């Protein structure tokens, strides 16, 4: 068991190094690692805990290490930083891991490939001091709320400052707390191949407990601790792993059988596949994306889920009308964004996104939305969505479009689960992790006039 735990710790250091050095995504690296390595359930759980835990609590861990070591962690080599953070995370957050094991494994990793005795000596000194003082090192009570909450909940100060100004301290704290909790795995049942009762029963027979989603009737939330990403139901295309926020954007679009639909920023194909199920696999879905890798993943997802009406195409939403001559009945623009609504699932994003990206991406989003709107037929629908908590990417983009595109009027379809979202007075909807329990999204729907 000790050897297996050591293996999980070493893998965590490897993954975290790639996340920081190569700007890789932890979720993709973890999925690939768990798919090709024969890790037992405990090893897989420890690897997942260490990887996401270090990413979520990085600022707090660095403060602890700098307090006992009096040197900037950011100045150390990237791999050594991960070795120290993994050790510090175990000492601070994992009571079941003996202190000696956390220290000794960190020292061994520091001596290993890419390391040397100097690294090992530093790791030994810092982590031993932290082990001795961990109970007497609470996060300090600072008078400045931004500094206090940024350190207590390991978020960049610029983002904490914005949330304090927008929500007040109580709700900002609730959102920060939600970001620090693991996101639930949500399964959308593919109605082309299964139904909710049969899927829930099969999962229960395999020891996987689920609860019905309060947001969508065809979604199941998997109870914490269960891993289903590699369950046979996923491989068989009877379910897809998809957050409810993204699925709500499809629900707002409300595509109908026989229609022509444009997914203008299709990505990996989750939304296009979901549309296919909603449409009963009857009609046409043009799925645009500029990334060849994304289109390849889209094709694989559609094959797995039995979505035969999806046409992946290389293209930019700013020139969307070129790809659907005659126009589309419905167009979805799930635009590239900061992803700040997904910090539970992708905690590394908080350390990558500078505040200046909000204005840069908002300009791109306005262009994409304006271009995609040209592909909407008279009488057709347009939905704009982003997985961001920030108004520059949501409300402001929606308002700019509505002010310029007089032919489009906002509407909410009959039957849309508006009670599961926060309705905004200026138009559109929002979801937040601390309110609805799903990723943070903004979405809005318009209908184009007949003239």
Q: Kindly list the catalytic residues.
A: 387
Three-state SS at 337: coil
Task: Report d(CA 228, CA 39) in Å as an integer.
Answer: 15
User: Given the structure tokens 């390991």, which residue do they identify?
Assistant: 154
Residue 249 bridge partners (DSSP) = none
CA distances from 214 to 217, 223, 400 (A): 8, 14, 32
Beta strands 219-222 and 185-189, pairing class: antiparallel
| Pair of tokens at residue 346 | 């992708």
Task: Report d(CA 127, CA 24) in Å as an integer.
Answer: 27
Taking the CA of residue 150 as centre, how many other CA atoms within 13 Å lie in the half-sphere pointing to its CB? 19
Torsions phi, psi for 313 (to 5 deg): -135, 140
* Residue 340: alpha-carbon gap to chain centroid: 8
Beta strand segments in 162-265, E:
185-189, 210-212, 219-222, 239-241, 260-263
| Pair of tokens at residue 291 | 């990334």
- Name the residue among 250, 386, 230 with its Cα closest to residue 304: 230
Beta strand segments in 134-204, E:
185-189
Which residues does 200 contact at the CB level (< 8 Å), separation at least 6? 210, 220
Output DSSP code: residue 444.
Answer: E
Residue 443 bridge partners (DSSP) = 385, 429
State the helix-helix crossing angle for 270-278 and 244-253, rounded to 10 degrees: 50
- The rounded radius of gyration (Å) of the Cα atoms in the chain is 23
């Amino acid at each position: 068991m000790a050897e297996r735990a050591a293996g999980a710790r070493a893998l965590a250091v490897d993954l975290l190094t790639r996340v920081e050095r190569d700007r890789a995504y932890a979720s993709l690296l973890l999925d690939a690692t768990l798919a090709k390595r024969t890790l037992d359930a405990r090893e897989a759980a420890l690897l997942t805990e260490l990887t996401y835990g270090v990413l979520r609590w990085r600022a707090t861990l660095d403060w602890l290490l700098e307090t006992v070591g009096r040197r900037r962690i950011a100045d150390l080599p990237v791999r050594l930083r991960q070795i120290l953070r993994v050790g510090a995370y175990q000492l601070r957050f994992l009571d079941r891991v003996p202190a000696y094991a956390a220290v000794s494994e960190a020292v061994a990793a520091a001596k290993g490939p890419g390391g040397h005795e100097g690294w090992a000596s530093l790791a030994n000194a810092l982590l031993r001091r932290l082990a001795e003082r961990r109970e007497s090192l609470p996060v300090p009570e600072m008078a400045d709320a931004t500094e206090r909450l940024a350190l207590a909940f390991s978020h960049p100060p610029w983002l904490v400052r914005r949330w304090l100004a927008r929500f007040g301290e109580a709700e900002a704290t609730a959102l920060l707390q939600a970001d620090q909790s693991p996101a639930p795995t949500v399964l959308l049942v593919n109605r082309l191949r299964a139904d909710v009762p049969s899927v829930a029963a099969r999962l229960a027979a395999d020891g996987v407990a689920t609860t019905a989603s309060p947001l969508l009737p065809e979604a199941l939330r998997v109870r914490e601790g269960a891993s289903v990403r590699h369950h046979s139901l996923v491989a068989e295309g009877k379910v897809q792993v998809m957050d409810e926020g993204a699925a709500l954007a499809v629900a707002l679009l409300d595509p109908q059988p026989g229609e022509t639909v444009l997914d203008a920023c299709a990505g990996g194909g989750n939304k296009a596949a979901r549309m296919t199920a909603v449409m009963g696999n009857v009609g046409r879905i043009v799925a645009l994306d500029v990334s060849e890798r994304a289109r390849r993943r889209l094709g694989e997802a559609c094959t797995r889920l039995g979505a035969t009406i999806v046409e992946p195409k290389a293209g930019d939403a700013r020139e969307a009308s070129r790809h659907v001559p005659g126009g589309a009945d419905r167009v979805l623009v799930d635009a590239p964004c900061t992803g700040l609504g997904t910090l539970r699932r992708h905690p590394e994003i908080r350390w990558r996104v500078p505040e200046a990206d909000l204005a840069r991406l908002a300009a791109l989003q306005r262009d994409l939305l304006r271009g995609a709107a040209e592909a909407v037929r008279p009488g057709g629908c347009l939905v704009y969505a982003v997985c961001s908590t920030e108004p520059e990417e949501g409300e402001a983009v929606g308002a700019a479009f509505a002010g310029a595109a007089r032919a489009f009027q906002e509407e909410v379809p009959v039957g849309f689960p508006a009670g599961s979202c926060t309705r905004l007075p200026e138009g559109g909807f929002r979801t937040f992790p601390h309110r609805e329990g799903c990723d943070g999204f903004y979405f809005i729907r318009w209908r184009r006039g007949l003239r």
